Amino acid sequence: MTTATAGSPGPSPRTVTPTVETVLAFVNTRADGAGRRELFGDGDSFAAWLAERDEFGGGTVVTDADAAAARELRDALVTLLLAHSGDEESRGEPLLRAERYLRRVGPLYPLATVVTAGGVELASPQAGAPRVFGTVLAAVTTFAGTGDWARIKACRNPPCHFGFLDRTRNGGGLYCSTGCGSQVSMRKHRRRLRETATQPES
């Protein structure tokens, strides 16, 4: 077992940015073709990540099995975020599997309503890794309640799939950065050139 240490619980979910940041921090832990490394590879790496995240509380004991559960939850959420950005490969059966998984694990991490004079927030009443997963689902639930859940997306650039908040006025953002958008445009341009080159002359 590995112990992660962190500080006090996070801010009120009425503060939108930290809530979104919690979700994005969790989903942006995958290894990808852009050179990012896997942060939930085992209990040690999972604990190291938790130690840098204040909102999950301190003294969390995690195992390799907890890291595997974290990867499952994260990957299901990433599939939903890819669907938000219109990624075709994430739709159909992959999306159905992700939604079934989230319906199945949701009851494992119940949430409690915390009412104070300053406002109301959702929090996980559990300890250990279940508290971590409950906190992530609380952040998802809170932000979804704002009506902007579909604005949390995963980049459609296949080597990337980095999670981001779409801040465009019409909610039409597809990529986490202009760099990723340029890569996709360049690949499409090269594909058109190849197709043109292989077409027979009239």
Helix (H) / strand (E) element for 194: namely: helix 178-198
Question: What would the pLDDT profile of 87-144 be if each residue is shown by its tens digit?
Answer: 888 888 999 999 999 999 999 999 999 999 988 899 999 999 999 999 999 999 999 9
Question: What would the pLDDT profile of 138-172 be if each residue is shown by its tens digit?
Answer: 999 999 998 999 999 999 988 788 999 999 988 88
pTM value is: 0.81
Question: From CA 137, how far away is CA 57, in angstroms rounded?
Answer: 15
Question: What would the pLDDT profile of 38-57 be if each residue is shown by its tens digit?
Answer: 999 999 999 999 999 888 87
- Kindly calculate the radius of gyration of the chain based on its CA atoms and give it in whole angstroms: 19
Q: How confident is the model at residue 8 (pLDDT cuts 50, 70, 90)?
A: very low
Helix (H) / strand (E) element for 64: namely: helix 64-84
pLDDT the model gives residue 196: 62
pLDDT the model gives residue 200: 63
- Direct distance between the N- and C-terminal alpha carbons of the chain, in angstroms, rounded to an integer: 69
